[in-house]
Chain A
Amino acid sequence: MEDKDKKIESLHLKLIPYFEKYGILLLLILMILVMHILQPDVFLSWRNVTNVFKQISWQSMLALGVFMVIVTAGIDLSVGSIMMLSLMILAVVAKAGAPWFIVVLTPLIAGFLCGLFNGLGITLLRMPHPFIMTLGTLYIFRGTGNLISGGTPISGFTDEVRYLGHGRIDLQWLGLEKSQYLPVSLVLIAIVYIIFWIFLNKSKTGKWIYAIGGNPNAARASGINVNKILIIVYSLCGFLSGIGALILAGRTDSGYPNAGLQSELDAIAACIIGGASFFGGRGTVLGVFAGVMIMGILRNGLNLMDVSSFWQQVLIGSIIVLAVYIDVLRRDIGTRK
């Protein structure tokens, strides 16, 4: 009897790492199945699937940035405002008649600098927690964006500027119909996520980001320049928000004051649903992607079923709490006491 229990327990222990890595994908697949059963004609249609990817395109950039920050046990509340400010700068520069390759670079540089500002503030000003610095810049960046644009939308960009957010890759050469195209933003998501997966899992700096989240004192004692790594992380987070701005510019063809409002909370939610731990050091790039997808599919599916957006809020909130509770249970089983 005891032997049997032991066997079961060791099986559990063996399964935990896999569950930790891929459990969230199971949830995602389950959701896709449920949606498919509920909406068999529409949900998995080419049009709807590409639509989901287009809708999550810029959120997925913010979520990836916030994820890296969360791995260091930090938080970035300003990503939505960074995106809005970057978008506004892009819009102003575009309206001033700058050539497209400069217009395309501006949100990336602006986002990076905003992130750098956060990183320098957190480390040099020795803020007690990144929450405070980025709460401050949440207001500062959005206010600056409105000051630059005068608080009014600026619309109308060239096709080159809109390419990443609005471009289509034709698949007719594969024998598909004209409506069955691949959104450029989907390809962009894939490329950016793969690059950051390699960065976080295979590079020294990536390993150190996890180490800082696991135990900053250990990182420091190992001779790792913790402040430098944190500045890099927040800068990259800002840079990704800048990419988000570029995608959003393409999608909406407009810089508008409410861009990315509250999207920092969506980004955090996607990370948490995807298994990132607020205590730092835990979570995967694949998990974040699954988290973004789950939120995107939930919204899309509920829209298809004509469920009110109020219910969407209730459901997303519930999933956050549930996902974290599952994580708590997993830690209880997985960690030796």
Chain B
Amino acid sequence: MSSTSNPLLEAKGITKYFGTITALENVNLKVHAGECLGVVGDNGAGKSTLMKVLSGLYKPSAGSLFFQGKKEILESPRDSQNLGLEMVYQDLALAGNLPIGENIFLGREPTKNLGFLKLLDFNKIKELTNAHLDKLKINVKSADQKVEELSGGQRQAVAIARSTAFNAKVVIMDEPTAALAIKEVGKVLDLINSLKKTGVGVIVISHRMDDIFTVCDRVMALFQGTNFAEASLSNTSRDEVIGWIMGKK
């Protein structure tokens, strides 16, 4: 959490144009190991665009990303995953027709060789899934349950489990509690806190001040695609942060 050490992830001068629209202009961001950074901003402030740049889904028009002090160019989500940068999308990006385990390992399935054939290793998927869910204290009936049969909170938990199944160093979460019932919000926030304890850097985008003030150590506000304000949680208040969202300092 010390701000003197190198940040895990740092974005410098990120600018993104869509045609004639400037979605982001000269935005900076950094997050340290074991730290949770809250990113707030009104609709259209550029939060989601920034996250998509960080996850490699969008290429920035200008600016650079540094991971553990080293400059990185992300060509695709696979590149960011390989670095240990994982994203939990607002729409959760889960395939409802597939079981929990296959969602967690989607795109990175363990395989076994059968002669010249490389086949999926379903036993291993199940084994690793159960171990990982246990580690995060996520309760589901079975790793074979289809995701579409789960509640919103369980799905969010699976999405977070998915993001941390491969030794993630930074996890970026887009509105992790937006779609949840109130009683499920607490569980997801607990999950974020336990991630921090394992040394993962977490970035949480949220509209909910409760989320920000429960799990974050630092908060930054975007306004019209630019850095607007930033403070550590102990030096600010809900009212001030809400003011930032509306463009008032």
- Interface presence of A202 (CB below 8 A): yes
Measured between beta carbons, the chain B residues less than 8 angstroms from A207 are 98, 102, 106, 109, 120
Interface contact tally, CB-CB below 8 A: 81
Contact B96 A214 (CB under 8 A): yes
A198 contacts across to B, CB distance below 8 A = 117, 119
Task: Say whether A318 faces chain B, with CB atoms less than 8 Å apart.
Answer: no
Overall SS of chain B's interface = loop
Chain B residues within an 8 Å CB radius of A204: 109, 111, 118, 120
A223–B109 CA distance with the chains assembled, in angstroms: 12
The interface size of chain A toward B, counting residues with CB under 8 Å, comes to 24
Residues of A within 8 A of B102 (CB): 207, 211
Taking chain A's interface residues, is the majority helix, strand, or loop, or is none over half, making it mixed? helix
> Contact flags (1/0) for B94-129 with A, using CB distance below 8 Å?
111110001100111101000001111000000000
Question: 1/0 per position for A217-251, CB-CB distance to B under 8 A?
Answer: 11111111000000000000000000000000000
Does any Cβ of B come within 8 Å of A213's Cβ? yes
The reply to whether A221 and B57 contact each other, CB–CB distance below 8 Å, is: yes
Q: Flag if A218 contacts B94 (CB, 8 Å).
A: yes
> CA of A215 to CA of B155 in the docked complex: distance in angstroms?
14
A278 at the B interface (CB under 8 A):
no
Docked Cα-Cα span, A208 to B105, in Å, equals 11
Of B87, B89, B91, B106, chain A has the most CB atoms within 10 Å of the CB of B106
In the complex, are the beta carbons of A336 and B151 less than 8 A apart?
A: yes
Residue B210 is within 8 A (CB to CB) of chain A in the complex: no
Say if the beta carbon of A36 comes within 8 Å of chain B.
Answer: no
Q: Is A168 an interface residue (CB 8 A)?
A: no
Separation in Å of the A17 CB from the closest CB of chain B? Answer: 9
Does chain B have a CB within 8 A of A308?
no
Q: Is the CB of B78 within 8 A of A336?
A: no
> B136 on the interface (CB 8 Å rule)?
no
Give me the interface of B with A, judged by CB distance under 8 Å: 55, 57, 76-78, 81, 87, 89, 91-98, 102-103, 106-109, 111, 117-120, 148-151
The 5 A-B pairs of least Cβ separation, nearest first, read A214-B95, A222-B107, A223-B78, A281-B97, A214-B97
